[in-house]
Amino acid sequence: MVRRTLSVYETPPDVGRCHNCGIGRRPLAEWLIWTLPMTRFALILLFAAILIAMLAVTTYAAFDRSIFNVGPELTSDPWFHATLADAYFGFVTFYVWVAYKERGMLRRAIWLVLIMTLGNIAMSIYLLIQLVKWRSADGAESLLLRTRAAATA
């Protein structure tokens, strides 16, 4: 069976509609993915908002106290360890994509240091840079995959 890729404006054929609200029976998140177009502008707004929020919350926390003065009540908490592991595994996952996309070892090393030290701040900046360079007419592949020039370098 050949699967056809739907336009962001098309509704998947197997989505049922509620007779009251018109929303499909699928979960809300899946319905949003199918109905809201993720344009270049929307993605830039999203990652700019994440960057601004992370800068704001980090600045707020830094003015409250140094990260080195959080104390043993926080660092001994198992949820602190789980949250930290979750964040850094996410950073590594994102970095694998960055290492795939970037051409040179120096660029890869710089982004590794930035992502591991700044986390979502660096990740948002990287995505904003990629989105500014991306022409949405070229398709998502040109945003997500290594360019032909990068692949041969």
- Cα pseudo-dihedral 147, 96, 40, 36, rounded to 10: 130
* Encoded tokens for 34: 């199918």
3-state secondary structure (DSSP) of residue 21: coil
Going from N- to C-terminal start, the domains of the chain cover: 1-37, 40-152
Q: Are 51 and 128 in contact (CB under 8 A)?
A: yes
End-to-end CA distance of the chain: 37
Q: Are 44 and 132 in contact (CB under 8 A)?
A: yes
> Which of 4, 2, 1, 8 lies closest to 139, judged by CA?
8
Enter the pTM of the model: 0.72
Rounded CA gap, 54 and 102, in Å? 24
Q: Over the stretch 33-61, which tens digit does the pLDDT of each residue have?
A: 555 566 888 899 999 999 999 999 999 99
pLDDT at 40: 86
Q: How confident is the model at residue 4 (pLDDT cuts 50, 70, 90)?
A: low
Rounded CA gap, 140 and 151, in Å? 17
Average of per-residue pLDDT across 118-140: 93
